[in-house]
Amino acid sequence: MKKKIQSIFIANRGEIAVRIAKTAKEMGIRTVAPFSPDDKKSLHVKEVDKAIGLSNIKLSETFLSPDFMVELAIREKCDAIHPGYGFLAEDYRLAELCKRRGLIFIGPDPEVIRIMGDKSEARKIALDAGVPVLPVFEGEINELAELSSSLGFPVMIKAVSGGGGKGLRKVNHIAYYLKELERAGREAMNYFGSNRLLIEPYIKNARHVEVQILADFYGNVIHLFERECSIQRNHQKIIEESPALNISSELKQKLFAAAFKIAQKADYSNAGTIEFLIDEQENFFFLEMNTRIQVEHGVSEMVTGIDIVKKQICIASGERLNLKQDEIKCSGHSVEARIYAEDPFYDFRREPGCTGPLFLPEYKNLRIDSNLTENSCIPESFDPLLAKLISYGSTRKEAISLLSEGLKDLMIPGINHNAKYIESIIGLNEFLKFRHNTETLKNIHNTLINKLLSEREKSLRFILAGYLIIHFSKKPNNYENIWKSIGYWRQMNKVEVKSEETKHVLFWKKTKNSIEVDIDNVIMKLDNISVTGNEIQFCFEGNSYLIYFRKEEKYTLFSIHGFTFKLRSDSVLSEVQIRKQKIYENKESGKVVVSPLFGKVIKINYRVGQIVKKGDPLIVLESMKMENNILSPVNGKIKRIRVSINENVMENQELIELEKIVETQNKEIIFQN
Residue 407 and residue 390: Cα distance in Å, rounded? 10
CA atoms within 13 A on the CB side of 293: 24
Please provide the distance, in angstroms rounded to a whole number, between the alpha carbons at the two ends of the chain. Answer: 75
Short-list 436, 433, 365, CA closest to 394: 365
- Other C-beta atoms closer than 10 Å to the C-beta of 574 total 14
Strands (E) across 318-437 are located at 333-340, 342-343, 349-350, 353-354, 366-370, 377-378, 385-393
d(C-alpha 156, C-alpha 500), whole Å: 40
Distance of alpha carbon 21 from alpha carbon 14, whole angstroms: 11
Q: Find out whether 642 and 619 touch, Cβ atoms under 8 Å.
A: no
Q: 623-657: b or e for each residue (b if 16 or more CB lie within 10 Å)?
A: bbbbbbebbbbbbbbbbebebeeeeebebeeebbb
Could you give the residue ranges of the DSSP H alpha helices within 305-432? 308-316, 396-409, 419-425, 429-432
Handedness of CA 320, 322, 325, 329 (dihedral sign): negative
Q: Which of 283, 284, 286 is nearest to 273 (CA)?
A: 286
Query: Is residue 435 within 8 Å of 205, Cβ to Cβ?
Result: no
The candidate with the shortest Cα–Cα distance to 88, out of 48, 111, 60, 51, is 60
Among 269, 456, 432, which residue's Cα sits nearest to residue 345? 456
Within its chain, how far is the Cα of 122 from the centroid? 26
- Amino acid code (one letter) for 74: I
Spatial distance between the Cα atoms of 507 and 489, rounded to a whole number of angstroms? 11
The residues, ordered by sequence, that sit 6+ positions from 489 with a Cβ below 8 Å of its Cβ are 468, 472, 473, 508, 510
Residue 647, φ and ψ in degrees, nearest 5: -80, 135
Phi, psi dihedrals of residue 578, rounded to the nearest 5°:
-65, 125
Q: How many residues does the chain have?
A: 673
CA distance 539 to 546: 9
What is the set of active-site residues?
292
Report CA torsion sign: 139, 145, 147, 150.
Answer: positive
Q: How many Cβ atoms from other residues are within 10 Å of residue 265's Cβ?
A: 16
Give 59's DSSP letter.
G
Between CA 438 and CA 344 the distance in angstroms is 19
H/E segment holding residue 618: strand 617-623
Q: Are the CB atoms for 468 and 571 separated by under 8 Å?
A: no
CA distances from 486 to 331, 462, 480, 515, 535 (A): 57, 18, 11, 11, 16
